[in-house]
Amino acid sequence: MKQSVIIEMKSDELVEKLQLELEQYDKMKISHTVSQLENPLTIQMKRRTISRIKTELRKRELAK
């Protein structure tokens, strides 16, 4: 997910998206441990998306 898309989302949508991304990330890590994923770089992309969302939420929190 690109940063421009994240910036346009509302805070409550970001919180929901963050929870969804974290759940998917955990499932991916577990499945990768059990058997290799086709594309292990998807784990890295999920982690970066989670970081982008957390950064935007923190930025909005500090702006208040």
Per-residue pLDDT of the chain (64 residues; tens, 9 = 90+): 899 999 999 999 999 999 999 999 999 999 999 999 899 999 999 999 999 999 999 999 999 8
Residue 17: Cβ within 10 Å count: 17
Total domains present in the chain: 1
Question: Can you give the pTM of this predicted structure?
Answer: 0.92
Structure tokens at 40: 């292990």
Q: Which range marks the domain in which residue 29 is found? A: 3-63
On the 0-12 / 13-18 / 19+ scale of CB atoms within 10 A, 13 is exposed
Query: What CATH number corresponds to the domain at position 12?
Result: 1.10.287
